[in-house]
Each structure stands twice: as C-alpha cells, then as structure tokens.
Amino acid sequence: MCGIAGVVGAYKETQLDAMLACQYHRGPDATGKYFDLDFSALGHNRLAIIDLSVESNQPFKDNSGRYVVVFNGEIYNYIEIKAELESQYDFKTKSDTEVLLAAYIVYGAKCLQKFNGMFAFAIWDNQEKKLFAARDRFGVKPFYYSLSNNVFYFSSEIKALHAAGIIKEPNEKVWASYFAFGSYGMPDETFWVDIVQLPGGHFLEFENKKVTIKKWYFFEEEVAKQPKNLTFEQAKKQYVVLLKDSIRLRFRADVSVGFNVSGGLDSSVLLAMVNLQEDNSKINGYTFYTNNLDYDELPWVEKMISQTQNPLTKVLLQADEVPTLMQKMQYQQDEPFGGIPTLAYAKIFEQARRDEVLVLIDGQGMDEQWAGYDYYNQDNEATIQGVQDSPYKTNILSDSFLAKAVKPLYPKPFKDDILNKQYRDLFYTKIPRALRFNDRISMTYSTELREPFLDYRLVEFAFSLPLDYKIKNGISKFILREIASEYFVNDLVFAPKRPLQTPQREWLAFDLQEWVSQCFIELERLDYAKWFNKESLHKELKKYFDGNIQSSFHIWQCISFYEMLKIKG
C-alpha cells in the first residue's frame, strides 16, 4: 500500500517533490523518483508490506529498463501469476510489484483480468513515450488525474494535484448535488474543478497529449457466467470455498496482520474465517466504542471474541475528540466524508500502527452482495439505512446554487429491482464512498486495509444467486447467516442490523453544540456563503438543537463543507 504520483509532459522536479510530500503518510518507508528527460516524472511513497527489501522500492524498472511502474495496492495472487511467468521473465525480487510489471510486459492490458487484488498503478514506456494506468475492479485504490495545458498529472490523493499547481476551486455541480441528493459524484467526478478520477474497472493510456479511457471489467457479463440452478446447500458450500480462499490470499504479508470487528453478522463471518488461518492465536482484533450503550456494539463483539479467544484491542472515541480529529480527517479526505463513525474507525488504525500491526482486514462489501440493507425491499430510491424522513434539506440552499444540482441517474442493467439497487450500491454509491473514506483513514496512519469480501469472485457469485437465498422470510443475508450459525450462537447470527454505530445525532445536538454553532457562524463568512439561504440555515440548526434529531446528515454536511472550504474563505 503506497502513494503514487507523476507528471507526463513539461514538468518541474519541485512539482513532483510537492506531490510526494503531500502523500508521505501513504508510504513512509521509502520515497523514490524517476525521470525520463523532458517526457515524464514518476514518484512513489512506499509502505513495505510484501518483500521488505530495498530492491523492491519504486519506481521499479523491468530488466530491460524500458518499463517503469509506480504501484499502490496488492496483487494477492502474485505467487500463482509468478509461477505462470517464470519461463518468460527473469524475476529479481519476491515482490508483487515485479509480478505486476512482468504480467503487463507479457500480456499487455489483458494482465488486468489475471489480477486478484486492489490496485492503482501507472507504467511508463520510455521507448514509446506512453503511459498506461489502471484501477482495480471496484476501485479500492484511488487514481486521480488532471490534464492541464497538455500536461498529464496523476496521484493517489487530490491534495497532491493541488500541490502540483492544479487550481483549487470547488466543483459547484458536485457540491450542489451532494447537498440536494446526498450524491458524492459519479465514478469519474470529484468535488474539485479540473480533477477527475479513473473509475474502477477502467484503464487509461496517455500518448501524444491525448487521454484514452477504456473499461476492462464487465461485471454484468461475469455475473451471467456464474453457475446456474445450484441448490441452497451447493451455493452455500461454493461460497464458503471462495470465502476461505479470499481470506487466505489476504493473509499474505511480511508484516503483522490484524482484523477489524464489530457486533454484526459480517464481522462474525470474518472472525470465523480468520480463525481458520494457521497460528491464529496471534491475530489481533480491533473494535471501537463510545461508552454509549444505545449505540455501542462492544457487548456483541466481546461475546463473539469470547468464543474464539482472539486478543481484542478496544478503542474509545469521546465527544471532545471530535473537533480536532474532524479537522485532521477532513484534510486527509480531500472531499466530504461520512461522519463521526469514520472518526471512530480512524482511531483503530492509529492504534494498530502503534501496535506495529500494519495490515488490517475488514468486512466491507457483504451488505451489497447479499442485499443486507432494509431499503432493498422498499419501493424507493433510498441509500441510507434506518432513516424514514429525507436527510437532505434543500431549503438551506440558495435558489441559484440549488439549480446547479443534478439528480444522479444510475444504470439498471438487470431485470430485478433489488439487483439494480445492489449494482448501484456496488459501483455508484455505498461502496465507492466507503472505500474512499477507508483508504484515507488507513493511509493517514500508514497502515494497509484489505477487504476480503470484495474479492470479485465472491461478489459475482453471490450476485448471481436467487433472491430467496439472500432474503428469506424477511431475514436478509440468509445464506450468510446459515454459514455463521456453524460457528456462533443464534442470538449473534440472527440479530437485526444496527444502522447507527455512534451517537452522532446526540453529540452534534448537545455535547458538541458550541462547536457546531461556531462552524455554522464561520460558514457564513466564507466566500461560498452565497450558496446558502442563511435564514433557512439558522432555522434548521435551531430545530436540530431543539430536539429534531431524526437525522444529522445535513448538520454534518455543513460542518464538512466549512472545514474543507475555510482555507478558500
């Protein structure tokens, strides 16, 4: 897990230095640079996870010196791919980086189909003077870029592009859509002018001052290839085989590996599978809590852990930590993020780094593949669990700003409505934003996060199964619960999903009222205050402080907006 950066075209070395300095937290183990005369400059911040030797530092050249790669992520099946390539490439290291580069040299863009992993990388061909870059199927690892005056800039984080000289101006259409519809942008959009992202499952080529983008992962086609007419037991057995292999692959590391655990079903399955690994007694679990019994999942976590006896580190987040931690995380995120649960989650990675546990495994992705959210069975377009009223308060926006909002329309490639909602969440809403939140908070503390449930084999297989394998008698994620019941008691396995994990609503309304009030006051002093209807803004804040706290999303939106834009104010 690392940070990548580069400039193709007329560049100054100071630009690359500034980009790498911004992303130092992503890879404190080594910083490297490569220059091809006046054609390109590539940079890399390394967090050493596989093959810790200096020979695997990046930018990494192939044996001929023609190709140079900067790579962020992990190719989990690199050992198997390496075995295929050994007769065609002379390997010098034990790294997955060299395997990635060799696979590209041998297979070209088709190498992407062979990779099981999370990745964003760029390969410079110094003979053809061409850049090839790609992102993994679900976009676990980030890739941002900007084309300015025929010069192509790319990086792992938006702040690095701003450091290189790309103008820092908010994208009003994306911001307006965020406030009006809760949208975080389409797969290629960001909240900033002239900065876009390469969508997951796509690659790009930059040659002769021209960017060409192509899709390489066709999810719908892969789902259609899955086995048909499996019985419930056959499907369950096959999924367990895939799940065990996914977790086995994600334990490949030359550093300590731990895992995140909550009180939910997904964590119970993860916990069970983790303990099937060899020497599981040393695998540390991490969880957060807030000392609020209405929200904390700690009792459930401790009950699960008592059955497996894993070491458990409990990380406390308190209300008075929120303002300072919010400022730090907002800087790291570069765009709006989810709220106080993200801050609580960030503290886990901070603690893991202190414990010298550099890789954490998480349970992201189960709800989307197994139709686990309550709104999947509702006739609406909701994307937020456990909320009845709309969390979006368009009345706080000025008419001119609201007019710039565009309601997002998502593809519906499947005949079934629930499948289309799952598809939307996988590629457009839930998963993209969660992956961005989680990448930034893990990287803030120079740790790596791995998502075994987002192994493409699992997602494609689960997606293809009949709906009654997923939801049965009103019980969601049914087949997953059947798997978990073999390891844990039923009151854990069949507990309902808890949509809220922190007392964000109460903290913002009461404990942090003074801080929230000050953020709203300062917001009105920004250059961008004209985006808001100040009278309605005051009314909504007063209603919230007076006890109307069914949803806190609009309050958090305003705080996030202020923290991100105050430098421009």
Please report, as a single letter, which amino acid is at residue 111: C
Q: Which residue bears the tokens 């006896």?
A: 309
HSE value, Cβ hemisphere, 13 Å, CA-based, for 523: 26
Q: Is the dihedral of CA 511, 514, 519, 523 positive or negative?
A: positive
| Alpha-carbon span 1 to 3, nearest angstrom | 7
Give which of 495, 470, 477, 568 is closest to 525, Cα–Cα. 568
Buried b (16+ CB within 10 A) or exposed e, 103-141: bbbebeeebbebbbbbbbbbbbbbeeebbbbbbbbbbbb
| Alpha-carbon span 8 to 488, nearest angstrom | 54
Q: Are 467 and 25 in contact (CB under 8 A)?
A: no
Q: Which residues are annotated as a binding site for L-glutamine?
A: 96
Q: Phi/psi class of residue 495: alpha, beta or left (left: φ > 0; alpha: ψ in -120 to 50)?
A: beta
Q: Which two tokens stand for residue 234?
A: 């056959």
- CA Rg value for the chain: 23
**Which distant-in-sequence residues (6+ apart) come within 8 Å of 161 by Cβ?**
19, 144, 145, 146, 153, 155, 195
Q: Which residues are annotated as a binding site?
A: 96
Pairing of strands 210-215, 202-207: antiparallel
Give which of 313, 314, 348, 316 is closest to 329, Cα–Cα. 348
Q: Are 41 and 54 in contact (CB under 8 A)?
A: no
| Alpha-carbon span 457 to 464, nearest angstrom | 11
Catalytic residue among 2, 22, 111, 558: 2
Q: Please name every residue paired with 200 in a beta bridge, in sequence order, or none if there are none.
A: none
| Alpha-carbon span 362 to 49, nearest angstrom | 17
Annotation says 2 is catalytic: yes
Q: Which residues are catalytic?
A: 2
